[in-house]
Amino acid sequence: MTTVHADTARIPVPTQSTYQTRVADYWNAEENPVNLELGKIDDLYHHHYGIGDADRTVLDEPDPGRRRERLTGELHRLEEAQAQLLASHLGQLSPADRVFDAGCGRGGGSVVANLRYGCHADGVTISAKQADFANQQARKRGIDDKVSYHHRNMLDTGFTSGAYAASWNNESTMYVELDLLFAEHARLLRRGGRYVTITGCYNDTYGRASREVSLINAHYICDIHPRSAYFRAMARNRLVPTHVQDLTQAALPYWELRKEADHLVTGIEDTFLTAYRNGSFQYLLIVADRV
Amino acid sequence: MTTVHADTARIPVPTQSTYQTRVADYWNAEENPVNLELGKIDDLYHHHYGIGDADRTVLDEPDPGRRRERLTGELHRLEEAQAQLLASHLGQLSPADRVFDAGCGRGGGSVVANLRYGCHADGVTISAKQADFANQQARKRGIDDKVSYHHRNMLDTGFTSGAYAASWNNESTMYVELDLLFAEHARLLRRGGRYVTITGCYNDTYGRASREVSLINAHYICDIHPRSAYFRAMARNRLVPTHVQDLTQAALPYWELRKEADHLVTGIEDTFLTAYRNGSFQYLLIVADRV
Amino acid sequence: MTTVHADTARIPVPTQSTYQTRVADYWNAEENPVNLELGKIDDLYHHHYGIGDADRTVLDEPDPGRRRERLTGELHRLEEAQAQLLASHLGQLSPADRVFDAGCGRGGGSVVANLRYGCHADGVTISAKQADFANQQARKRGIDDKVSYHHRNMLDTGFTSGAYAASWNNESTMYVELDLLFAEHARLLRRGGRYVTITGCYNDTYGRASREVSLINAHYICDIHPRSAYFRAMARNRLVPTHVQDLTQAALPYWELRKEADHLVTGIEDTFLTAYRNGSFQYLLIVADRV
Amino acid sequence: MTTVHADTARIPVPTQSTYQTRVADYWNAEENPVNLELGKIDDLYHHHYGIGDADRTVLDEPDPGRRRERLTGELHRLEEAQAQLLASHLGQLSPADRVFDAGCGRGGGSVVANLRYGCHADGVTISAKQADFANQQARKRGIDDKVSYHHRNMLDTGFTSGAYAASWNNESTMYVELDLLFAEHARLLRRGGRYVTITGCYNDTYGRASREVSLINAHYICDIHPRSAYFRAMARNRLVPTHVQDLTQAALPYWELRKEADHLVTGIEDTFLTAYRNGSFQYLLIVADRV
Amino acid sequence: MTTVHADTARIPVPTQSTYQTRVADYWNAEENPVNLELGKIDDLYHHHYGIGDADRTVLDEPDPGRRRERLTGELHRLEEAQAQLLASHLGQLSPADRVFDAGCGRGGGSVVANLRYGCHADGVTISAKQADFANQQARKRGIDDKVSYHHRNMLDTGFTSGAYAASWNNESTMYVELDLLFAEHARLLRRGGRYVTITGCYNDTYGRASREVSLINAHYICDIHPRSAYFRAMARNRLVPTHVQDLTQAALPYWELRKEADHLVTGIEDTFLTAYRNGSFQYLLIVADRV
Amino acid sequence: MTTVHADTARIPVPTQSTYQTRVADYWNAEENPVNLELGKIDDLYHHHYGIGDADRTVLDEPDPGRRRERLTGELHRLEEAQAQLLASHLGQLSPADRVFDAGCGRGGGSVVANLRYGCHADGVTISAKQADFANQQARKRGIDDKVSYHHRNMLDTGFTSGAYAASWNNESTMYVELDLLFAEHARLLRRGGRYVTITGCYNDTYGRASREVSLINAHYICDIHPRSAYFRAMARNRLVPTHVQDLTQAALPYWELRKEADHLVTGIEDTFLTAYRNGSFQYLLIVADRV
């Protein structure tokens, strides 16, 4: 089944708007240590945050080099835990199944899914550089017969309708219109297929987007949706939630640790912590069935 | 604030349809031991099922009377666990807050909420007999200044807009149109208020309603909704999910135990077990914010 | 034009859900005398009920064998009257026109349309056995150049857009989502084409589905829609009613007679009679134009 | 119950738009013999057309005065048949029930309903002159304790919600927005109440409004809706069709006879006949339940 | 890119409804001097009205022939001004861009766009005669390599999705359903493409269609939409207004002058003037972006 | 009519969400010279930007004090021009008419409307301090019998339905949900009433919110809507655009001048200029009729 897609993996994505070009430029240029240093550890390059309790004893490490190393490792362990949580909700997948990784970044999520289920994976990113990097990694791991990355628009992939058993967005929904996104997932997923997203969303209960949410938007050139927007757009696109979990509390240890890592911080750490704590921002897992 | 409602508690509900009359007749006549015997234990009368692991050693009890007693007690413990799970999601309530129990049956849920938070509660049931029974219980407990039950239509309560901090349906949504129901909850809840439901729903992933689901409908004269219907109707009525949990697995021990209780069975036990196991039916918790 | 479809008539339908498999299993196994015995009379095999006044003198027939025969014949006359009523609303069709029979069962309806108008017909059923049986009948009649049956999903036929002058569902809408169904009819019908359905629906005026409606659902593994659902879904799919007729009264004589036919009853007869008489269930004809 | 409305019957309607003023002016000035001469026969003043087979022998009457008289009588018989058809679909009404006649003109329809069922009736017209005339007629008949006419806007009557067992528009829907109209009917009707309309609509199957339809619009300063608009607006306003009948053929004899009546013609007769015959215009009965 | 379309330019449009046939017949037969005489001046044949202040001194011209000539010239100048206003809003187009002229009539608008921007143009008309005439003109001008006209249905052009940088309707929206029309424009326009319409619409502020609006409908066999319908249909089809201008006052001088031109009047002049002046009718420019 | 509202002018607004409290806090604390210094000139305190060509010779003024004064004056002239543009689109208002100023700030807009038309005005602001200040100004001018300011939520004013001839938002829509806002305007405006907004919106043609838009959001704690959202929400709330104008170019001179005014800058000036120039942000005037 891979061959169906392999030939199109190098077709350049028609960038549709100035905004998308600017986002692509950002990610083509991005070389944040928090992504690269953590990925180097085991060649699982993620572009998302971590969850779960942190081992804060790494901060007590007296040796500066070792402290950096242990801090980096601990943050990677937390982001790995997040990736595993997402992967654990993809449903019962077999090696013959195919999954779609929307907004795949440097490719870590697809590798996790492949390692876990043996399944085929198609990752899509708007950054040509990320797609190249990820495909290189797949070749290096020897899984490029099953896992491939495509420089495409996740709203208009050109992939075959109904060909996917599962799909996900790991912190990549804030760059796109949700109705267009979920329409594409609904088109690609087979009946009964599973969709999963972990995302930051702003909290309608708090009100409109807080100042902190806007600062995060400015930092990443993204446009964070309110929580309500996810459920409205899913309702319109035959995606029915089966599990929803507020991960906000579970996300705090990662950020509290990260702000101590001088070699990794990007400057947005305190804004995240404030946003989570004042109730204006949430870290949310939604698992839905394609019906 | 209670006095606002107290005077209207005895106003008979205008029964709007033949269907509603038939449902009211059913509950006015209902005297199932599984509801009454369990309630007698501690005067917490529930009309819902239980969750969590069961102590199946009660089945090994050699003395028949004692066996019945322990079985009854264990089932009550499980339904109590369900009631507590629901109540634990009502948000941070103070004694000054007011909650709305839609489809209150013999009143157990409102008592649980009052015991837990000290809050005011208004229960609504289409059965005059249930409302009377529940009010009697409240008086007996000495909480009738804070908890009252009303013989009303939950779709058209006549209660004050925005007066409620939380509201719920515990296995009572399958008797009504969800859009009308959620419109009424949205009207009654204050901004930021919390809505919770635990419900049986049929599973869109399986397909349409299975034979087992239809048999359950016939048993209770109800009309079980597909899971998708909940999220669509919430999306239209400013109720935004914050926590969704599939309780199907957690519901099985209750039913497996109940089918062994000859003095309590109603005959629907195997149908529930088959429906849960073949994937056509789910026991679902949805927690949502009124935005 | 037939050749366009002939080659695909044997392509197995991708069964999409467990529910659909279970429905297909039901119909593959079904051998009810009320369908087979009646069909044998003149090789018009219907899967629906009858309408119109019954000749109840057949019950007075003293000879048991003759009584059975006359009873069978009378029921077949009534179901034939129903099929003719439906066919009479298909619009002005010529032999060059093509019609679509959605949920064709053992094929009687398409034969009726062909005999009446000389038109081409494509029947679709989820049961491979029914499709085979129906195609055999068509060959036997020598009309297999114009009438063919397909083992397909009526929600996703793969047939050519706009190729049909008329289409119908005769008691087969209760197995599917109406929005998906009417979208497919609207796609297949040419502008100005005619859609007809005769269906049992539950009556919104009564309220939600009654116990009897649920028992019918359990009997046939179907999911009867409320009357309102038909008009809402048609309004969304460019199908505009031009004639609507409540056939409930006209359906009673068939059921009253059938319950006397010991050799044909399936056990659901009294439930139907009660449901029709207590106002919770209706037998409805809707004729609509594709605009 | 009458007294509730009696005091408001003289409150002038706030005319909302220039269009409505112009329509009101038209009907305040209108003195067409086809309305007045026919009404005089038995004091049943209708503002609609007739249905059914005509006795065309009246045209052979040699005496000119007698010919006019018989022609007038025959047309009145046909319009009376139309009024009775509408009234026969209002459901089972008792003398305690109340009906709403939206766009009542000179009041004939409400009298017909009162004579048939003994029920209370509230007619509403935008023309003060028509309301006065109709109330005068009611007093003359001695039914003004049960039947009253109001100079109001049918889109915003100010009447009590849920107070009506039935309501109708007899050829008056083409002056208003259907969504606003049906929202008001749905508000006024009790659950299970019946709504009936007989109306000219343009035929979506034909296409957009034909020249003839536009000429009719110009003649009456109205804005004829397409057939589809009725079903879409009903679907949005909890009005579910139970009977739909195309009366176009039944309407032709009236118009064919009327065009021969030199003393009654208004000049629009041929346009109606052409519009009905070329398929662009339909005379439709819709009976719906308020659910 | 032209060649993509050239081969299909002669494929006859499948006329879908009686209404469309009648409109096509009208335009195939139409030979109004007000269109032909004005077009002859410089071979720019328009089918729309003019805007801007008129030079009414042409009426004082004593020589009758010269007066006619000057009158004709002045009216053409005004309709040319209208065409230029529309063209000026098409966005920044290059010679490589392609535009779509929906309802192109005798082709003037596409020529104007080509002359202004050097772009490719595809005009579509339901009249075969108009398409032939317009193609002849293009050949005569030597621009038939860039500008071509097609006898097609503008609701279903068969052109390539996303291939157009701009598109418009110049007084041709009143013949079609706006939702179907805007869906086709949205399909054809690339993201960020520009849509422009100049149209007569009836004014919802006034109320429903006035008598004058209906007379205009009858004159042209069209079905003028209310202003609100444009914005509702655009909102559903990803067309976002960026400039809206009421041209009603600017349209009056054209009509005031035209009614003095005995050799050009069609008889509808006074109706337009009354409709514009009594507030029931508007001449509107809407410029929107495809997002 | 004023007295209807006067008694409620001091009723504190129920602040509904944390977000609203934070916005109110911001404006209660705000003392930006760019608002206060400009307002002092003639006691017209605006909270919006200016439009039109600027007299940049004020920058050449050698005397620093005089330069500041002239700069301040010039900026005030430009913001006054904006206020007049808005006011000029409110329709034909008489002194008996009443207007609603949603998000009135320190009250300048209502004064402008009163001076221009002599009409009554009700301003609403979420900041108690702004309402007090504005009422003080009205008293000082002696127009407090006609103009009053209320500390209320503009989404839920409690004012009388249909009582307003015109209403507006001048740069205040970005703090609220548009559907709630336009529903309130539609409720308050009489049929045919006029709604006007001047607002910054992000440009859907560009894509999602740009970094600059997010920085503006962070600066003001607001949540700028995309342009499309305005037209969608108006379409749902019976507000029909009649004039739409892109004021982006006209807004540049104000910002270019303001960035030179060291005594007035707030630091957001360059962000605005970049946002306007890169096409991601627009300054838009929408004039709509309530139908």
Mutate to test the interface with F, among A18, A19, A153 (most CBs of F within 10 A): A19
Instruction: State whether residue C90 is helix, strand or coil.
Output: coil
| C/F touch flag: 3 or more CB pairs below 8 Å | no
Instruction: Inspect the interface and report whether the beta carbons of D217 and E214 lie closer than 8 Å.
Output: yes
Residues of chain B positioned with their CB less than 8 A from the CB of F16: 191-192
Mean pLDDT on F275-288:
98
Q: What percent of chain E has pLDDT over 90?
A: 90
Instruction: Inspect the interface and report whether the beta carbons of E22 and D208 lie closer than 8 Å.
Output: no
Instruction: Inspect the interface and report whether the beta carbons of D246 and C243 lie closer than 8 Å.
Output: yes
Q: Residue A157 pLDDT more than 60?
A: yes
Instruction: Inspect the interface and report whether the beta carbons of D241 and C243 lie closer than 8 Å.
Output: no
**pLDDT the model gives residue E124:** 97
> Would residue C2 count as lying in a domain?
no
CB of A192 less than 8 A from some CB of C:
yes
User: How far is the C-alpha of E249 from the C-alpha of E53, rounded, in Å?
Assistant: 10
CB of F92 less than 8 A from some CB of B:
no
Instruction: Inspect the interface and report whether the beta carbons of F291 and E205 lie closer than 8 Å.
Output: yes
Instruction: Inspect the interface and report whether the beta carbons of B241 and A240 lie closer than 8 Å.
Output: no
H or E stretch covering E233:
helix E227-236
Q: What is the pLDDT of residues B219-261, one digit of tens each?
A: 999 999 999 999 999 999 999 999 999 999 999 999 999 999 9
**pLDDT the model gives residue F120:** 98
Residues of chain E positioned with their CB less than 8 A from the CB of C192: 16-17
CATH (domain of C227): 3.40.50.150
Residue C168, both tokens: 């119908």
Mean pLDDT on C17-23:
92
Mean pLDDT on D245-269:
96
CB of F191 less than 8 A from some CB of D:
yes
Q: Residue C5 pLDDT more than 50?
A: no
**pLDDT the model gives residue C15:** 52
- Find the closest chain F residue to E248 by CA distance: F242
Confidence band of C9 (pLDDT split at 50, 70, 90): very low
Q: Residue A15 pLDDT more than 80?
A: no
Residues of chain D positioned with their CB less than 8 A from the CB of E16: 207
**Count of domains for chain D:** 1
- Find the closest chain B residue to F15 by CA distance: B191
Q: What percent of chain B has pLDDT over 70?
A: 95
CB of F291 less than 8 A from some CB of E:
yes
> Would residue B3 count as lying in a domain?
no
| B/E touch flag: 3 or more CB pairs below 8 Å | no
> Would residue C1 count as lying in a domain?
no
Residues of chain E positioned with their CB less than 8 A from the CB of A16: 191-192
Q: Residue A223 pLDDT more than 60?
A: yes
User: How far is the C-alpha of B136 from the C-alpha of B165, rounded, in Å?
Assistant: 25
DSSP state of A203: -
Q: What percent of chain C has pLDDT over 70?
A: 95
Confidence band of E16 (pLDDT split at 50, 70, 90): confident
Instruction: Inspect the interface and report whether the beta carbons of A291 and B228 lie closer than 8 Å.
Output: yes
Q: What is the pLDDT of residues C105-123, one digit of tens each?
A: 999 999 999 999 999 999 9
In one letter, which amino acid is A69?
Answer: E
User: Touching F: which chains, 3+ CB pairs < 8 A?
Assistant: A, B, D, E
CB of A175 less than 8 A from some CB of F:
yes
- Find the closest chain A residue to F209 by CA distance: A223
The pair phi, psi for residue E109, each rounded to 5°, is -60, -40
How many other CB atoms sit within 10 Å of the CB of residue F267?
8
CB of E208 less than 8 A from some CB of D:
yes
pTM for this predicted structure: 0.95
Which segment of B217-221, D28-32, D89-93 scores lowest on mean pLDDT?
A: D28-32
Q: Residue D6 pLDDT more than 80?
A: no
Higher pLDDT, B180 or B47: B180
**pLDDT the model gives residue D33:** 85
Q: What percent of chain C has pLDDT over 90?
A: 90
Q: Which residue has the tokens 């032939």?
A: E132
User: How far is the C-alpha of F54 from the C-alpha of F68, rounded, in Å?
Assistant: 15
Residues of chain C positioned with their CB less than 8 A from the CB of D228: 235, 238, 240, 291
H or E stretch covering C217:
helix C211-220
| D/A touch flag: 3 or more CB pairs below 8 Å | no
**pLDDT the model gives residue B33:** 85
The pair phi, psi for residue F164, each rounded to 5°, is -115, 135
**pLDDT the model gives residue C8:** 42
Question: B270: domain range?
Answer: 8-290
Which segment of A13-27, A122-136, B139-153 scores lowest on mean pLDDT?
A: A13-27
Sort strands D239-246 and D281-290 into parallel, antiparallel or unpaired: antiparallel
- Find the closest chain E residue to D220 by CA distance: E211
Q: What is the pLDDT of residues B196-205, one digit of tens each?
A: 999 999 999 9
**pLDDT the model gives residue F14:** 53
Strand partners, F149: F123
Q: Residue A239 pLDDT more than 80?
A: yes
Q: What is the pLDDT of residues E80-92, one digit of tens each?
A: 999 999 999 999 9
Residues 15-54 of chain C with CB under 8 A from chain A are 16-17
**pLDDT the model gives residue A6:** 37
- Find the closest chain E residue to D175 by CA distance: E208
> Would residue B286 count as lying in a domain?
yes
Neighbouring residues of B98: CB distance < 8 A, sequence distance ≥ 6: B1, B119, B120, B121, B122, B163, B164, B165
> Would residue B168 count as lying in a domain?
yes
Higher pLDDT, F30 or A52: A52
CB of A241 less than 8 A from some CB of B:
yes
Which segment of A22-26, A74-78, C50-54, D158-162 scores lowest on mean pLDDT?
A: A22-26
The candidate with the shortest Cα–Cα distance to A208, out of F226, F174, F198, is: F174
Q: Residue C140 pLDDT more than 70?
A: yes
**pLDDT the model gives residue A206:** 96
Q: Residue A184 pLDDT more than 50?
A: yes
**pLDDT the model gives residue F222:** 97
CB of C246 less than 8 A from some CB of D:
yes
CB of B158 less than 8 A from some CB of F:
no
- Find the closest chain F residue to D18 by CA distance: F192
Mutate to test the interface with C, among A161, A191, A290, A291 (most CBs of C within 10 A): A191
Mutate to test the interface with C, among B25, B223, B271, B276 (most CBs of C within 10 A): B223
Q: Residue B76 pLDDT more than 50?
A: yes
How many interchain CB pairs under 8 A, D with F? 4
User: Touching B: which chains, 3+ CB pairs < 8 A?
Assistant: A, C, D, F
H or E stretch covering F5:
helix F2-6
> Would residue F1 count as lying in a domain?
no
- Find the closest chain D residue to F238 by CA distance: D180
- Find the closest chain F residue to B291 by CA distance: F17
**pLDDT the model gives residue E13:** 52
Confidence band of C34 (pLDDT split at 50, 70, 90): confident
Which segment of D88-92, F1-5, F185-189 scores lowest on mean pLDDT?
A: F1-5
**pLDDT the model gives residue D47:** 86
User: Touching C: which chains, 3+ CB pairs < 8 A?
Assistant: A, B, D, E
Q: Do residues A276 and A182 lie in contact, with contact meaning Cβ atoms separated by under 8 Å?
A: no
CB of E228 less than 8 A from some CB of F:
yes
Confidence band of E8 (pLDDT split at 50, 70, 90): very low
Q: What is the pLDDT of residues F104-162, one digit of tens each?
A: 999 999 999 999 999 999 999 999 999 999 999 999 999 999 999 999 999 999 999 99
Q: Residue D247 pLDDT more than 80?
A: yes
Instruction: Inspect the interface and report whether the beta carbons of A207 and F19 lie closer than 8 Å.
Output: yes
Mean pLDDT on A157-164:
96
Instruction: Inspect the interface and report whether the beta carbons of A208 and F223 lie closer than 8 Å.
Output: yes
- Find the closest chain E residue to C162 by CA distance: E16
**pLDDT the model gives residue E14:** 54
Q: Residue B2 pLDDT more than 70?
A: no
Q: Which residue has the tokens 């969400």?
A: F17
- ipTM of this predicted structure: 0.93
**pLDDT the model gives residue D14:** 54
Q: Do residues C101 and C110 lie in contact, with contact meaning Cβ atoms separated by under 8 Å?
A: yes
User: How far is the C-alpha of D183 from the C-alpha of D239, rounded, in Å?
Assistant: 9
Residues of chain B positioned with their CB less than 8 A from the CB of A228: 235, 238, 240, 291
Q: Residue E128 pLDDT more than 80?
A: yes
**pLDDT the model gives residue A13:** 52
CB of A228 less than 8 A from some CB of F:
no
CB of B236 less than 8 A from some CB of F:
no
The candidate with the shortest Cα–Cα distance to F82, out of F255, F267, F265, is: F255
Q: Do residues B27 and B125 lie in contact, with contact meaning Cβ atoms separated by under 8 Å?
A: yes
Q: Residue B11 pLDDT more than 60?
A: no
Cβ burial A141-178 (10 Å sphere, 16+ → b, else e): eebbebbbbbbbbbbebebeebbbbbbbbbbbbbbbbb
Residues 113-152 of chain D with CB under 8 A from chain E are none
Instruction: Inspect the interface and report whether the beta carbons of D176 and E208 lie closer than 8 Å.
Output: yes
Q: Which residue has the tokens 């002092």?
A: F40
Instruction: Inspect the interface and report whether the beta carbons of C221 and B215 lie closer than 8 Å.
Output: no
Q: What is the pLDDT of residues C148-172, one digit of tens each?
A: 999 999 999 999 999 999 999 999 9
**pLDDT the model gives residue B34:** 84
Instruction: State whether residue C34 is helix, strand or coil.
Output: helix
User: Touching D: which chains, 3+ CB pairs < 8 A?
Assistant: B, C, E, F
Q: What is the pLDDT of residues F83-102, one digit of tens each?
A: 999 999 999 999 999 999 99
> Would residue A61 count as lying in a domain?
yes
**pLDDT the model gives residue D221:** 96
Confidence band of F35 (pLDDT split at 50, 70, 90): confident
- Cα angle E69, E71, E76; round to 5: 95
Q: What is the pLDDT of residues F211-236, one digit of tens each?
A: 999 999 999 999 999 999 999 999 99
Instruction: Inspect the interface and report whether the beta carbons of B215 and C211 lie closer than 8 Å.
Output: no
User: How far is the C-alpha of B132 from the C-alpha of B126, rounded, in Å?
Assistant: 11
CB of B273 less than 8 A from some CB of C:
no
Sort strands D164-170 and D239-246 into parallel, antiparallel or unpaired: unpaired
Residues of chain A positioned with their CB less than 8 A from the CB of F208: 19, 175-177, 222-223
